Every structure is written in structure tokens, then in C-alpha cells.
Structure 1
Amino acid sequence: MRASRVLIVDDEATIRDIVRRYLTAEGFEVTEAADGDDALRQLERGCPDLVILDVMMPGIDGLEVLRRMRATSDVFVILLTAKAEELDKLVGLSIGADDYITKPFSPREVVARVRAVLRRQRDAPPSNHHETMSFAGLVIDSARREVRRDGEAVDLTALEFDLLVALATSPGRVYTRRQLLEQVWGWDYVGDDRVVDVHIRNLRRALGDDASAPSIVATVRGVGYKFVAAPA
């Protein structure tokens, strides 16, 4: 099995060097970019398995890099954010980041988070018994990783698709945020459980589901979420 490829994007050479050394020691193949332009050029030449992307960079900042990446790529992305920049975290998640790590950080935490995100490629939500799930106006094809709403294709990120499958596999079951994190992100995920809320919001937007009168994913106040679409 080939080593997973990680691209580190940060304008601070010291941070790139520390993260590279730890990841390389754990068997990852690592490349580096010192700014957003360099990162986008490298992504055009070949897609890594995961990108560690600093938000605060001169020139094209990390959020703009992420927006441009998401126009053509579904690569996993972990943002590096400053401790006080809460808005950056939420905006980053809303435009397609898979996770974020707050500076200052432990290099060992970075390695653990990288492993947890990449593990989702192998440990997708269980769908082998539900390759095609049909509901009123909604069809989920797990084998092809495709979703159609009222006959129209729905463009979802890999994480949004996995969330939808996790919920749809057990209609009516109430999942806590922690249960969804364990099932979709991985049992060893150690980040903020608010990432679930952001990705559920993105999923609803993509599906055209109204949070105030949901027909697909409902909020169970104080607990979590459940799948409520009627069977076909």
C-alpha cells in the first residue's frame, strides 16, 4: 500500500519543517507550499490525499485557497487557525474543510488528526446492505456515491455524503453529535463537535431541506439529529 500524500501549506518555514518531520517519521509522503499560489499550482500538478492549510497567509489566504480547491477537488483539508479566529473556523468548515487545528498545536496532535481524517477513506459509514436507498424525492446510491433529489443530481462533498448515509441507514434513529463524529470522522476524533452542526447545515442547503420544517434531516433539540425522509 502506498504512503498517503500530505501537502503542508504555511508561510512559516518553521511550522512546515516541524509538521513535515513528524509526518515523515510516521510514514507519510510530504510536500510543502509556502503560500496559496504555490499550493494551487501543486494541486494542479497532482492531488494529495490531504492538505494541511494555514488560514492566515500573505497574498491568497487559506480560505480563498480552499474555495478554489473545492471548485475542482474533494481532497481532505485540515485548516490551521489562530486561537482567536473563531469565524475563520466556521467559515472554513462551511466552504468544505474537514477539520481544523488551533495554533499553537502539538505536532503529535496533527499526526493524530491526519490519521483520523484519512481513516474515513477506509472506514466509511456502513452501507453494504443499503447500496441504494430510496425515499420520497430522494435516492442515495452508496456504491456510486451519488444522490438525486427529485430526479436532479445533488453535489455533496465526501464528508456530507458520509453524514447523509450514516443518518439514512437508520431512519428515525436519533444520533448525538458525538455518535456522528465517531461514525463519520472516526472514533478517535478529538476536535470540536460543532463541526457536525456546520456540515449538517451544508448538507441541508445542498439538499434544499428547510431546517425549520425539515423533510430529510431534523434537529432533535439538545440531543442531535435524525433522518426523517419518508420511505418511497
Structure 2
Amino acid sequence: MSARIYLADDEANIRQLLESFLVREGYEVSTFETGDQLLLAFMENPADVVVLDVMMPGSDGFAIAQEIRKRSQVPLILLTARDSDQDYLDGFKAGIDDYFTKPFSPLKLVLRIKAILQRLEYEHQDESAKKMEFADLALKPNDRVLVSRGNQLPLTNTEYDVLRVLMAEAGQAVSRERLLREIWGYESNVETRATDDTIKRLRKKLRQIESQVSIETVWGYGFKLCQKQA
């Protein structure tokens, strides 16, 4: 069964262009002129990936992302015509997984969606996947949640996957390039803040639960998961 993609954008030419690219890859695609229409459809029949424009009639993309995130950890990708830091922060606060600024390459968006779906499929099929642990943290692959001292902490799909890679290499530096390749599906060193912003959100969540674990920056290279000194 092919993956189901929901796409909301008030520009008909963008909907048609992205739909043609995605259908060509074998995906089942439903397009919507507003985020409110998409949300109603999602509540009836959830999708595997959701792509949202920011500025639409009715509720904007941020509001729709927040409503979807209350119900599901489905991968969310945001599209915006404004390349502002505030939009970027608002999007990740709403729980999105990635962010594309218009104009963007439809091919890059398709590659991102393919990388997301391939990773989720691999993890679902990997019956040998077991709970990963480091210090006071544990990742539960079946539920895709973080557990610390008996308390569950919700993570977005991207946050979960970044933390999974860092935990697999705990104490060792992991490069930004590797994270971009394995999590976001980028094959080259593209200009994106996705990795750093995801790390910032993970650090904030670890502070909220007063974890013994910290994510250190390895300047000019990447990041490393470490246990705080007593």
C-alpha cells in the first residue's frame, strides 16, 4: 500500500506541481486549499506525511500543525514564503519536522518525504530494534517516546531520530553531515538550520526533565551526547 500524503497550499499551481511530483513517485496524494480542510480530512483518515503552507485562508499552517500534533506524531513539513527567524521558530514550536522556504525545489521536497518514509518503514520492519538507554534516558522504538526515570517525554519524529543516532554513538561525536544525510535525506552539505534547531529543542526538553545527559557541540563538526559530571 502506497503512503498517503496530505498537502495544503492556497496556490493551485503549487498544489498541482507538488502533486504531480509525488504521484510520479507512487504516493497517494490529497491536496487542500486550506489547512482547515486538511485537518478535517486528517481527523477522518490520517495521512503518513503532512505538508502545510504557512499563509492560507482560515487557520494558518502553525495553528494546523499544533492541532495535528495534539493527535499524532505524523511527520509535518512546513512551507513558507517568508524566510524569517520568527517563522522558523514558530514552526518548530508547533512541532514540525522540516521547513522549506519558497521558492524551493519540488525534487528536494520529494527527496525529503522519501527519506522520512524509508526511515519509518525500516524502523517498523526492524523487529530486532530494542530500547536504547544512556544514563537516565531510554528510547522506546515501538512508541517513539523518550523515558526518563519513569516519565514519558513526547518527541517529534525528527527529535526522536536525532536522539536515536546520538544515543547509538553516545560519547562519540556525530557530524552534522551524517545527521543531515540520515535524518533529513540530504546528500550534500546544504545550507539549513534544521539540525541546530532540532538540537536546541532537544536540549530544552532535557533541561525540563533535569536529565543527567547533555548534548555538547563539537565546534566545526557536530554534536556529542555526554553524561553530566556529578
Q: Under a length normalisation based on structure 1, what TM-score does the superposition of the two structures give?
A: 0.85
Kept in 1: contact 2:177–2:188 (CA 8 A): no
Q: Which residue of 2 aligns with 1:180?
A: 179
Q: Which residue of 2 aligns with 1:97?
A: 96
Of the structure 1 ranges 64-73 and 93-102, higher mean CA displacement relative to structure 2 is found in 93-102
**Alpha-carbon RMSD:** 2.7
Kept in 2: contact 1:113–1:189 (CA 8 A): no
Q: Which residue of 2 aligns with 1:227?
A: 225
Describe the superposition over 1:87-114 as per-residue Cα deviations: whole angstroms up to 9, x where unpaired.
Answer: 3133213432121222123333332232
Secondary structure at the residue paired with 1:32? Answer: strand
2: CA distance, partners of 1:206 / 1:138: 12
2: CA distance, partners of 1:195 / 1:8: 21
Q: Does 1:7 align with 2:36?
A: no
Classify 1:81/1:141 alpha carbon distance in 2 versus 1 (closer, same or farther; 3 Å).
same
Of the structure 1 ranges 8-17 and 87-96, higher mean CA displacement relative to structure 2 is found in 87-96
Q: Quote the offset at 1:218 in angstroms.
A: 1.7
Secondary structure at the residue paired with 1:216? Answer: strand
2: CA distance, partners of 1:84 / 1:144: 34
Residues 115-126 of structure 1 mapped to structure 2, 5 A cutoff: 115-124=114-123
Q: Which residue of 2 aligns with 1:22?
A: 21
Structure 1: where are the runs of 5+ without partners?
A: none
Kept in 2: contact 1:120–1:185 (CA 8 A): no
Q: Does 1:58 align with 2:61?
A: no
The one-letter code of the counterpart of 1:39 is L
Structure 2: where are the runs of 5+ without partners?
A: none
Q: Under a length normalisation based on structure 2, what TM-score does the superposition of the two structures give?
A: 0.85
Q: Quote the offset at 1:129 in angstroms.
A: 7.4
Q: Which residue of 2 aligns with 1:67?
A: 66
Secondary structure at the residue paired with 2:71? Answer: coil
Of the structure 1 ranges 52-61 and 143-152, higher mean CA displacement relative to structure 2 is found in 143-152
Classify 1:40/1:166 alpha carbon distance in 2 versus 1 (closer, same or farther; 3 Å).
same
Which of 200, 215, 218 does residue 216 from structure 2 map onto? 218
1: CA distance, partners of 2:41 / 2:4: 12
Q: Which residue of 2 aligns with 1:165?
A: 164
The one-letter code of the counterpart of 2:197 is V
2: CA distance, partners of 1:91 / 1:51: 17
Secondary structure at the residue paired with 1:120? Answer: helix
Q: Quote the offset at 1:39 in angstroms.
A: 1.4
Q: Quote the offset at 1:86 in angstroms.
A: 4.0
Secondary structure at the residue paired with 1:226? Answer: strand
Of the structure 1 ranges 194-203 and 105-114, higher mean CA displacement relative to structure 2 is found in 105-114
The one-letter code of the counterpart of 1:55 is V
Residues 120-199 of structure 1 mapped to structure 2, 5 A cutoff: 120-124=119-123, 131-188=130-187, 192-199=191-198
Kept in 1: contact 2:112–2:186 (CA 8 A): no
Classify 1:141/1:44 alpha carbon distance in 2 versus 1 (closer, same or farther; 3 Å).
closer
Of the structure 1 ranges 61-70 and 131-140, higher mean CA displacement relative to structure 2 is found in 131-140
2: CA distance, partners of 1:226 / 1:214: 14
2: CA distance, partners of 1:114 / 1:120: 10
Secondary structure at the residue paired with 1:122? Answer: helix
Kept in 2: contact 1:83–1:104 (CA 8 A): no
2: CA distance, partners of 1:191 / 1:97: 19
Q: Quote the offset at 1:12 in angstroms.
A: 1.4
Secondary structure at the residue paired with 1:208? Answer: helix
The one-letter code of the counterpart of 1:226 is K
1: CA distance, partners of 2:225 / 2:27: 37
Kept in 1: contact 2:132–2:140 (CA 8 A): yes
